[in-house]
Amino acid sequence: MSLNSLNLDLIRAEFPALQDGCVYLDNAGGSQVLQRVADRVSDYLLTSSVQLGASYTQSQAAGERVLAARRAVAQLINAPADDEVVMGGATTSLMFLFTQALLPGVRPGDEIIVTNTDHEANIGCWMRLRGAGAVVKVWEVNHQTLELDLADLDRLLTPKTTWVAMTHASNILGTVNPVAEVAQRVHAVGGRLCVDAVAYAPHRLVDVQASGADAYVFSFYKVFGPHYAVMWIQRSLLLALPSLNHYFIGTDVVPYKLQPGNVNYELSYGCMGINDYLVHVGNTLGAAGTERQKMQAAFDAFEVHENLLAERLLTFLRHKPSVRVIGHREATDGQRVPTIAFTVGEQPSEAIVRHMDQHGIGIRFGDFYAKRLIETLGLHAQGGVVRVSIAHYNTVGEIDRLITHLDEVIK
C-alpha cells in the first residue's frame, strides 16, 4: 500500500456508527467516534473511577493514566511540554476561561483584533474585554476573494495591539489561513496570536510550535474523539496568567490553575485512542520513523483522499449556474479543507437539506455559529448556507449518492 492510499474498509471499521447506513457529511459539526476512544472511556470508568491524589494503589494508577493522557495530547499537538496543555469541556468554554484569565491584565486602550470569519467562540469572549477598556477591531473578510488579506491586517496592527484572534480554517469557507505569517506580523508589534483550530484539526496534523501561535485551541469531538477540548498556551504566558482555581492553587500550578474542577478523567484517557488510531493508520501505510511521523503520514493520506472527494463535489457544484460556492471553488490547491458551503439561487438552504434528510444523507444548513460571516455576506435571509463537511472515512460512493440527490433539487 502506498503512503497516500487509505484502505477504507479498515478505516471505516474503526468507527462503529458508520455501519448504520447513514451518509455522515456533517463532520465539521462533530465527527464519528473511534471504537478505540470509546473502549478507553469505558475501561477508565469501569476500572479506574477513583479520585486522584490519594496514596492507595488504585488512585496512584488512575493518576498515571490521566497524566499519560495529557502526554498523549501534547504529542498529538506537538506541545513542547505536557504541562502547557489545558483541557476542558469545549473550545467555547476554554476560550471563555482563557479570556477571563487575561481580563485583570487588560488596560484601557489595549487593542484586540478579531476576524468576522470565525466561529463565535473566538470572537465573543474577546468582545467582552471591551468592558475593561479594550478596543476591539475587526479584520474583515475580502468580499471578492473571501479571504483574509494580510495587507488589511497590517493596517490594523499598531504598537497597542495585544492580541489577534483568528481561525486556522474557517468552518464555512473551508479556507486554510496562513497563521504562521500572521504570527510573525503580530509578534513584530509586540502582540500575541490566539488560533481556533476546530475546523482545521480533523484534516491536518496540528503543530502548535509551527503555527507560531501563543494560544491554540480545538475540540476533540471534531477529531474522532469525545466531547472534550484542548488549549495549548505558550509557557511564559501560561505562567503569567492568574489562577482561576481555588485560592490555594497558585499561579505556578500549571495547567491545573486554568482547570477549575480538574479535567474529566475518563474523557482525557479516551483521547489517547486518537493517537493510537493515527499511529495505526501510519503503520498500515508503511510509514517509518517516530509516532509523530506516522501520524503525519496518516494525515497526508487523509488529505489526498479528502481532496479527491471534495473536488468531486465541487466539480458538480461548479457546473450548476444557480450555485454559489462560499469559499475556494477548487480543492486541489491546498488552500482549503473539505468543508464546503454553498447557496442555490434564492432557495432557502433548509429546503436543500430537508431533501437530503429523506435519503439518509446527513448535511446541514445555517450559520454554524459563524453568524457574523453569514450576516456580512448577506446570506442570513435564506437561512445561511448549505454545508457539506467531509471526513477521511467518507467514500466516493457516498459523495456520488449526495450528488445524485442534490441534482434533483439544484437546477
| All three cell numbers of 203 | 484534516
Q: How far apart are CA 267 and CA 44, in angstroms?
A: 9
- Residue 386: DSSP 8-state: E
The whole-number pLDDT of residue 332 equals 79
Q: How far apart are CA 257 and CA 386, in angstroms?
A: 41
Percent of the chain with pLDDT over 90: 98
| All three cell numbers of 223 | 477529531
Q: How far apart are CA 354 and CA 383, in angstroms?
A: 13
In terms of Cβ atoms closer than 10 Å to its own Cβ (0-12, 13-18, 19+), residue 306 is buried
The whole-number pLDDT of residue 3 equals 63
The whole-number pLDDT of residue 307 equals 97
Average pLDDT over residues 309-334: 95
> At 196, which helix (H) or strand (E)?
strand 192-196
Number of H helices, E strands in the chain: 14, 13
| All three cell numbers of 128 | 467582552
Q: How far apart are CA 204 and CA 107, in angstroms?
A: 36
Q: Is the pLDDT of residue 2 over 70?
A: no
Q: How far apart are CA 274 and CA 169, in angstroms?
A: 21
Tell me the pLDDT tens digit for each residue of 227-255.
999 999 999 999 999 999 999 999 999 99
Q: How far apart are CA 393 and CA 45, in angstroms?
A: 28
Q: How far apart are CA 70 and CA 21, in angstroms?
A: 35
Q: Which domains does the chain have, with CATH numbers?
A: 8-33+283-406 (3.90.1150.10), 38-273 (3.40.640.10)
Q: How far apart are CA 114 and CA 163, in angstroms?
A: 8
Percent of the chain with pLDDT over 70: 99
The whole-number pLDDT of residue 185 equals 98
For the chain, the average pLDDT equals 97
| All three cell numbers of 180 | 504562521
Question: Which of 281, 401, 266, 222 has the alpha carbon at shortest distance from 14?
Answer: 281
What residues contact residue 90 under an 8 Å CB cut-off, 6+ apart?
219, 227, 228, 229
What residues contact residue 357 under an 8 Å CB cut-off, 6+ apart?
none
What residues contact residue 53 under an 8 Å CB cut-off, 6+ apart?
59, 63
The whole-number pLDDT of residue 334 equals 82
Q: How far apart are CA 202 and CA 141, in angstroms?
A: 23
| All three cell numbers of 219 | 475540540
Grid cell 463535489 in the structure block, residue? 313
The whole-number pLDDT of residue 1 equals 43
| All three cell numbers of 139 | 479584520
Tell me the pLDDT tens digit for each residue of 80-109.
999 999 999 999 999 999 999 999 999 999
Average pLDDT over residues 303-325: 98
Q: What is the dihedral of CA 80, 253, 103, 141, to 10 degrees?
A: 20
